[in-house]
Amino acid sequence: MSLQRKWFYDHVAQTSEMALGLEVKQTEGVFIYDVDDKRYFDLNSGISVSSLGHRHPEVVGKVKSQLDKYLHTMVYGEHIQEPQTSYARMLTTILNNHLDNVYFVNSGSEAVEAAIKLARKYTGRFEIISAAGAYHGSTIAAESLRSDTDYTKHFVPTIPGVMHIRFNEEGDLAMITDQTACVIMEPVQAESGIIVPQGDYLQKVQKRCRETGTLFVLDEIQTGFGRTGYFFAFQKYKVQPDILLIAKGMGGGMPIGALVSSKGILKTFASQPALGHITTFGGHPVCVAAANATLDVLSRENIICLVAKKENIFLERLLHPLIKNVRSSGLFMAVELTDAACLTPAINAIYQHRVIVDYFLFHDAAFRIAPPLIISEEEIHEACDLILKALDTIKKG
């Protein structure tokens, strides 16, 4: 065992008893290289983060030039920092709607926390509605949005006032009332195994929110920045959130998140009382510099418009007796197996073939494929060949 591996298991806290334990040496594009120079296809993008691939040259360039100017200068929201102002201007120009104000935070979970506070303060209401089978983060308020009580029972009390509706069940929308501060929802449910909204479901949610004066919060922390083939999934599914939550792919590999809303809503944080949300490092200039490069590349290059074509290649190639179906929204895919007992052997065999795919939190028979959006057609074919070869080695139980 290498010294690094020993120190990892001895001194770095683990989140499970089955860490993947890939010892990283270097990354480039869609590949991660281990210390033995073995090359792995990263078909997860580090859970929907590396949309531009690893170490995109423009992201690295902007980070390096920001390092030469300044790092942290003051807690968020006091100093004028060019990376933040340029980013907020560019993103809100691209959005070109009422989402004209950006509050920078550090992560997806913090964006969710802040959205809950913002919605309660803005509406003066208490109740929050989220969808069963959603994952919105790991802080206590974000975990309170989880419907899986077998998990949350270990962390009680979760925050009060949270109710769950079933995703795609129109009948449940009556639970949204004039007591509801906000509905928080993913446009495509990620951790339940890529569950897409059926028909005009999201539009109906939005309509019910408008009727009851409830804020409609869309968590695009996984779906944002081109993952579904549109800049944001709300554009694909033709809705307009009051608050948009972003993180993950936003930073091109650097940690950052944000709430995007109207100035009218976001100014709620600024008075009565002021400092409605405080974050020391939110919108760190180096991370926002990386986000600027990411946004620049995505808006300039033909990346998002090729997502649907690449999605189709995966769908055409991923045919195997062990594969029951593939659900997808762009390069955001769940490969469901015919037998749940085969899931762990399949993920392990795929890894042995040097392709990284991953579990979903709430689906016991499907694995996740969410590759960097810059993956080439050739690379997709090569990765699919390896996946199919790996599945050939699995014996049905």
Ligand X SMILES: Cc1ncc(COP(=O)(O)O)c(C=O)c1O
Sites of contact with ligand X (CB under 6 A): 47, 107-109, 112, 135-137, 186, 190, 219, 221-222, 247
Half-sphere exposure of 44 (CA within 13 A, CB side): 17
- Closest approach, Cβ 109 to ligand X, in A, equals 3
Cβ-proximal residues to 223 (8 Å cutoff; 6+ apart), any chain: 186, 187, 188, 190, 232, 233, 329, 332
Which residue, 334 or 384, is less far from ligand X as judged by CB? 334
- Closest approach, Cβ 303 to ligand X, in A, equals 21
Half-sphere exposure of 294 (CA within 13 A, CB side): 33
- Closest approach, Cβ 64 to ligand X, in A, equals 24
Which residue, 182 or 221, is less far from ligand X as judged by CB? 221
Q: What's the token pair of residue 163?
A: 């109710």
Q: What's the token pair of residue 337?
A: 């197996």
Q: Which helix (H) or strand (E) holds 102?
A: strand 101-105
Half-sphere exposure of 277 (CA within 13 A, CB side): 25
- Closest approach, Cβ 134 to ligand X, in A, equals 7
Which residue, 108 or 330, is less far from ligand X as judged by CB? 108
The rounded distance, in Å, linking the Cα atoms of 311 and 32 is: 22
Which residue, 109 or 214, is less far from ligand X as judged by CB? 109
Q: What's the token pair of residue 297?
A: 């590349």
Residue nearest to ligand X (CB): 108
Which residue, 373 or 390, is less far from ligand X as judged by CB? 373
Q: What's the token pair of residue 5?
A: 């591996």
- Closest approach, Cβ 281 to ligand X, in A, equals 13
Which residue, 44 or 292, is less far from ligand X as judged by CB? 44
Which residue, 100 or 143, is less far from ligand X as judged by CB? 143
- Closest approach, Cβ 75 to ligand X, in A, equals 20
Give strand pairing partners of 226. Answer: none
- Closest approach, Cβ 135 to ligand X, in A, equals 5
Which residue, 114 or 391, is less far from ligand X as judged by CB? 114
Q: What 3-state class would DSSP assign to 58?
A: helix
Q: Is the peptide bond before 273 cis (omega within 30 degrees of 0)?
A: yes
* DSSP labels, 215-282: EEEEE-TTTTTTTTSSSSHHHHTT---SEEEE-GGGGTTS--EEEEE-HHHHGGGGSSSS-SS--SST
Task: State the residue for tokens 């769908």.
Answer: 315
- Closest approach, Cβ 114 to ligand X, in A, equals 12
Phi, psi of 111 (to 5 degrees): -65, -40
